[in-house]
Structure 1
Amino acid sequence: MRELIDSVHRLDGARGANAYLIEADDRSIVIDTGVPSGAKRLVAELEAARIPAITDVVLTHYDPDHVGAAAAVQRATGATVWLGAMDARILSGEVAPPTRTRRMMRRFNRPGRADLPEVTELPDDAEFEVAPGVVTIPAPGHTPGHHVVRWRGVAFIGDAGLVSKGRLIHLPAMLISDKGQADATLAAITAMRPRLVLPGHGRAGRLD
């Protein structure tokens, strides 16, 4: 676990995607969890850390490289697992993924029952405070129910974008469910003027 700024850490145990930890007074909030194969390492890392008990896990979206270890973390800690409402329904299989590419990806990466956490849905049409000062913001485009998390000027943006040379750019087009929404989301994140951007992939960065 590496501290990036005061009370914000990157979790080394997660595999496949970046996972982060916020220490917010007496609450500890995990942002994304990586793939299932990293679950044991991630749980061991959290258990060894000298932090308040994990109370919440916020999943930015339903892709397996972000939700894969969430069920294991939930079993180990009893944390509430949060996910955008539409993405929760896609994760559970109630709703099909929104594009042909994503439906093909789902066919080869369908999670088993043991890999599915018990999810509490986030509203897809409003900001929501999951812990004091830790706010989730609907950020569709990459997936229909994608959310970003804001805390003390830090933006945890999942796969809404990547940081490149001081600006936000999209992930590959084949991974974007709705380009118009994705454009609007990047503009909204930029307008927040975050002091630090923590993406789901790649390095943290600051925007010009």
Structure 2
Amino acid sequence: MLIDTGLRSGAAGVVAELAAARIPAVTDVVLTHYDPDHVGAAAAVQRATGARVWLGAADVRILRGEEPAPTRTRRAMFRSGWLGRPELPELTALPDDAETEVAPAVVAVPAPGHTPGHHVVRWRGVAFIGDAARVSGGRLVHFPGLLISDRAAADATISAITASAPRLVCPGHGAPARLA
């Protein structure tokens, strides 16, 4: 299992590290959301491993160009190729209204706000939260407003993550942390 893949420019490094690691074969990749710094190397990882790549349904539609990004800022970032343009892997859409067990004990949970199809991944008391929030002083806090697609949804997501009382939170940016 791999959660997020990083930028496309780092794909060769990710694939090499997976090949060298003494871990079971990667059969699934869960992308927390559609931003290029999280999905960029997914196609290369899929080619190298044959893994199934999961992404929230709303974010799949945005990446495929079936729907526009939800805010003017995000549309401009998408058009400009901010952080590079990801090569699209074959994607399996996660429902945006229900939890999905993507592997034994690994559950993708809808966590909209940062993007419409953002998901958090839970595994044995650990929450991999992508960009649903940042950790500051043992609390979950928002990213800057221009990076949030829906503030009310982001508020609800932060409340839900906190209420789930994970023993460890692993954000997409920053070190793993325990919540206060």
TM-score, normalising length: structure 1:
0.84
* SS of equivalent residue, structure 1 residue 203: coil
Q: Distance in 1 between matches of 2:63 and 2:6?
A: 15
The runs of 5 or more residues in structure 1 that have no matched partner are 1-28
Counting only pairs closer than 5 Å after superposition, residues 6-17 of structure 1 correspond to structure 2 as none
**Greater relative contact order structure (CA < 8 Å, 6+ sep):** 2
The answer on 1:124 being equivalent to 2:96 is yes
CA offsets per residue over residues 54-77 of structure 1, 9 Å max, x none? 100000000000000000000000
The Cα of 1:174 is off from its aligned counterpart by: 0.3
Question: 2:61 corresponds to which residue?
Answer: 89
Identity of aligned residues (%): 72
Q: Which residue of 2 aligns with 1:111?
A: 85
Q: How many residues align?
A: 178
Structure 1 residue 83 displacement after superposition: 0.2
Residues 148-195 of structure 1 show CA distances to partners (whole Å, capped at 9, x for unaligned) of 000000000000001111100011110000000000000000001000
Gaps of 5+ in 2: none
| Per-residue deviation, 1:202 | 1.1
Normalising by the residue count of structure 2, what TM-score does the alignment of the two structures yield?
Answer: 0.97
Please name the residue that 2:7 is paired with: 35
Could you list the per-position Cα deviations for residues 73-108 of structure 1 after superposition, in whole angstroms to 9, with x for gaps in the alignment? Answer: 000000000000000010111110000000000011
- The AA in structure 1 aligned to 2:42 is A
Counterpart check, 1:194 vs 2:166: yes
Are residue 178 (structure 1) and residue 153 (structure 2) matched?
A: no
Coordinate RMSD, CA, aligned: 0.8
Find out whether 1:62 has 2:34 as its counterpart. yes
Q: Which consecutive aligned stretches of 4+ in structure 1 deviate over 6 angstroms post-superposition?
A: none
| Higher strand proportion | 1
